[in-house]
Structures are given as structure tokens and as C-alpha cells.
Amino acid sequence: MDARLRPGQGVHARSARRVDQGLRPGVDGDEDGPAQRAAPGRERCDRAQRRGRIRGRAVVTLLSGTLADLDLASIAQVTSLGRTSLRLELRTRSGELIGRLVLKAGRVVSASAGGVHGRDALRVLMTAASDTRFELAREPLDFALSSALGSVADLGALQRAPLGSTRQPAIARPPRAATRPGPTPQAAVRIEMMQGRLDEFDLLTLLQTLGVSRQLLEIEVRDRAGAPAGRISVKAGKVVSARAGDTAGFDAISQLVTSPRSFQFAAFRVVGDIGQVPELASVSEVSLRVAQATAPQRNRVVMEGALSEFGIPALLQTVGCSRQHCALEIHDHRAISGAIFLKAGVVLSARAGLLTGIPAIQHLMSSHPHD
């Protein structure tokens, strides 16, 4: 025994430190790196399981219902305007899965129905019965849009085609960068999305609502007979163009906002080769400028009374405290005798008949003394 030990002390064997078995081993790509190598012949599946759990948590249901309320083509066209990837599932009344679509930026990215995939699956889904239930959810994509099946705008053709038809419907492929000279690009086509009356939707509010889309949208303003009065194009929060007759730009928007002819509207999605789109201004800037230009310029009465109760000097001192531009009008029962204009304690001008300035103020004070 060690002579340096005090009475009551002893030497005990120290056990090796153990790793808490409740801890999850690190995996490739973790911050701490892999905790151990995989045993021969056994592959680690922790990473895939974790990715599946994360992917499952990211799914958010946005809308559900039956195809009796909305047809599949309309649901796809309205919801595919954003840049977010969406999954549209169809189920029978008993809850059995019929198939699903993945949509993004106006494209059908993928489609499946049972063991059928691609365009054949699209034909099956588009001919689903009206009592079929649908569910729209947000889901992240892990593949590129270059593999898209076609455009959402062409789903209507599949809906009208018979199920057993062998004829391939014409579905527009996503545009690709041209590597060599080819045929003339397809002209831009307008696809109607919605319509309504401007007594239900203010035109400026309509611009702000539709302007959030990343696609080029066109709002056509019409009169009571349905004849076009003008049109405004928006994209990604920007006003691209505006025209009302021979007027263009901000003046055209102001004219459409205030014109009594503006009674109804129709909104279109513009697809095809539109080339480089110019920019007029942001929707917020246009709304502010048009609102300021069309605001009624009228004087508002702040106070009124008899000069037998308030003298002109007292009124000037009281009204002059304001930072706003004010006018003090002096009148009798027949007509206005004159007016004094002031702001922030400073008299800017005065008039009384043919008199102006200080003589006008002196005339008003002498002709309307405070009793």
C-alpha cells in the first residue's frame, strides 16, 4: 500500500468510459461526421430514413374537395401560377388513391395513376368521375423542370379526349435553349383565367392581387356592353404596359381607374414567346401615383363661426399653429369679403376685392371688427 495514503483511503480499479447507448450514431453529412464505419455487407440507411421524415414533415395541405366543385384542369391552372411545387392527389370516395400530379410554374412535372406514368396517367386522371376527391398540398421538388410532361394549359384537351383513344394529345413541351436556327417561335396566346365586375373588385386592388404572379398576366377593362376599354399587363409585381385608346402608361391607368366606362374586367394568362418584357413601374408605385392623381382636390371646412365671438387676430394665431396650408375666409351673408392664407404661423398671402397683402388684411380687420 502506498505510504502516502491517508487512513481510510484506498485504491480502486477505474472502469473504462462508455458511450451512451441512447445516442444516435453520426451519419455521413452530419456536423460531427460518421461515428463508425458500416459493417461489411451492411449499408447504413439512417440518412435515407431521416430524409424521408424531413420530407414528410414539409408537406402542407392547401385545399381539398371534390371534382364536382372544381374540375381538374381549373384547379391546375389556378394553382400552378406560383413558383412553389404542388402535389395534386385524386382519391375515390372510399379514400383509395387514384393518382397524383406534381405542378410547378405552369408545368406538369410528373403524373402517375396506379402503375401508369407520364401522359397515359394524365389521360386517366383527367377523365376521373365528378365524385372523385382531390387534395392539394405543397411539396418540395428534388428534380429539375426540364423533365416536365407539358403545360398546364393543355390539360383541357386530355379532359375532352376519350380514355381509350390512342391518339397522342398535343402537349407543349417546356421551352429549351435553341442550339441551331429553327422554325419561327409560337405566337403569344391569351388564356382567360377569371372575370368579374369592377364594382366588386377595385382596379388598383386587382392589380396588386394579380401582380404577385411570376407569369405575365393581362387585365382587360370592358364597358357595360363588353367592349374593351383598355388593358393593363403585370408580371412579378411590375406593371409592364397599359393602354386605353390612344393613351398609354400612367395616364392610361388613371383613365381606366376613373372612367365611367370601366364596368367589368377579364384576366388572361399570356403564354408563348413574349420576348423580353419591359418594365413601366412597380404595382405599388403605380397604385400610389394613380391614387394621388385621382384623389379629389376639395377644401375641407375645419371650423366656422361669427366674428362677434372671435376676432381676426385671434383666429390667425389659432389657425396659424397648424403645419398645414389653411385659408381663413371672411364673408357676410351675401358674398365672400376676402381670405387670408397662412401656414405654420406665417401669413402667405391675403386678398380682399382688389386689395392684396397687408392692405387686404387691414381692410378685413377694419370692416369686420370684433365687438
Domain for residue 5, yes or no? no
Tens of pLDDT, residue by residue over 156-198, are 555 544 444 444 444 444 444 444 455 555 677 888 888 888 8
Alpha-carbon distance of 86 to 80, in angstroms, equals: 8
Residues 274, 327, single domain; the answer is no
CB 315 within 8 A of CB 303: no
Domain for residue 81, yes or no? yes
Domain for residue 127, yes or no? yes
Domain for residue 80, yes or no? yes
Residues 267, 323, single domain; the answer is no
pLDDT of residue 293: 67
Residues 280, 198, single domain; the answer is yes
Domain for residue 129, yes or no? yes
Residue 235's domain comprises: 189-294
pLDDT category of residue 231 using cuts at 50, 70 and 90: very high
Residue 236 predicted with pLDDT over 90: no
Residues 290, 317, single domain; the answer is no
pTM value is: 0.36
Domain for residue 178, yes or no? no
Tens of pLDDT, residue by residue over 248-289, are 888 888 888 888 878 888 889 888 766 676 778 888 788 777
Tens of pLDDT, residue by residue over 85-121, are 788 888 988 888 899 888 877 778 888 888 888 888 8
pLDDT of residue 184: 57
The tally of domains found in the chain comes to 3
